[in-house]
Structure 1
């Protein structure tokens, strides 16, 4: 299925990728908190809007 070289490359790639992403996020943590602080309100509003659409769809369909 996969050669030993491909599996070794995949393992090293995943380890390197996760490490880079972790340190990049850790470095920008304060910046993200400042710029995306109100994003949870938008997420809740979007989910609420989708629930309303689904309820209206089921109400109109029946």
Structure 2
């Protein structure tokens, strides 16, 4: 399906991309703490909404 060159490139790309993301996040960690204090609340609300939709789907299916 994939050649060995494509697999090597994909592996190399993933490693470099993850390393770059870690570097950038560590560099901006103080800004994240300052400007995105309540971001986890928004994430939890969004996930709760998705779970609520899932339960409504199951309830109405029966």
The TM tier, using the shorter chain, reads: 0.5 to 0.7
Q: TM-score, normalised by structure 2?
A: 0.66
Larger Rg: 1
The runs of 5 or more residues in structure 2 that have no matched partner are none
Post-superposition offset of 1:26 = 0.5
TM-score normalised over the length of structure 1: 0.66
| Unaligned ranges ≥5, structure 1 | none
Matched residues in 2 for 1:8 and 1:45: separation?
39
| Count of residues in Structure 1 that have an aligned counterpart in Structure 2 | 53
1:33 and 2:20 aligned: no
Taking only aligned residues, the RMSD between alpha carbons, in angstroms, comes to: 2.1
